[in-house]
Amino acid sequence: PKILVLNGPNLNLLGQREPEVYGRTTLADVEALCRDAGARLGVEVECRQSNHEGVLIDALHEAGRAVKAGALLGVVFNPGAYTHTSVALFDAIKGAELPVIEVHISNVHAREAFRHHSYVSPAAAGIVVGFGVDGYRLAIEGLVRQRRG
Ligand code: DQA
């Protein structure tokens, strides 16, 4: 089975966007490191990014069906700012009964108060926060361990 790495809004700007917060690594670099981390564990990694809430929800539904079919282990998901606003993402993950590891590059708890609450966390199977882009690798390893036991 595969892993889906799903990135939400503005993460296409990684590398140029607030580099003091998010670093200089581009999304293409992140996706390459994810495929690499998966390969070392013998898992194929598929990467997607969207700036649109509904597109992310459709991707989560599709992932839920793939998990049920045994084709997908789960999803490593950085929902970007929708983390802090989207009941719809929470419902999508719950509704799809989807194993999701939530990732944030920055330590959201050390930042503005509006970043301290996550709608996604109560539906997540694990959370990786504040390790920079290395968090994606940690999340992939954690998801594989959790799902393979
Ligand atoms: C982020 C943190 C969010 O608060 C922010 O809106 C992002 C990126 C992170 O990876 O640190 O877009 O999810």
* Phi, psi torsion values for 125, nearest 5 degrees: -90, -10
Residue 22 designated active-site: yes
How confident is residue 142, by pLDDT bands cut at 50, 70 and 90?
very high
pLDDT band at 149 (very low <50, low <70, confident <90, very high): confident
Q: Which of 13, 105, 114 has most ligand 1 atoms within 8 Å of CB, for mutation? A: 105
Q: Is the sign of the CA dihedral 26, 144, 127, 68 positive or negative?
A: positive
Fold of domain 2-148: Rossmann fold (3.40.50)
The pLDDT confidence band at residue 148, using thresholds 50, 70 and 90, is confident
Entry pTM:
0.97
116 labeled binding residue? no
Could you give the count of Cα atoms lying within 13 Å of 18 in the half-sphere of its Cβ?
7
Q: Which atom of ligand 1 is nearest to the CA of 78?
A: 13
Q: Each residue of 9-66: pLDDT tens digit?
A: 999 999 998 899 888 999 999 999 999 999 999 999 999 999 999 999 999 999 999 9
Q: Looking at ligand 1, which residue's alpha carbon is closest to its atom 7?
A: 80
pLDDT value for 16: 92
The reported pLDDT for the residue numbered 74 is 98
| 34-58 CB burial, b ≥16 within 10 A, e <16 | bbebbeeeebebbbbbbeebeebbe
Q: pLDDT band at 93, cuts 50/70/90?
A: very high
- What CA dihedral angle connects 119, 144, 29 and 51, to 10 degrees? -30
Residue 116 a catalytic site member? no
Contact 74, 67 (CB under 8 A): yes
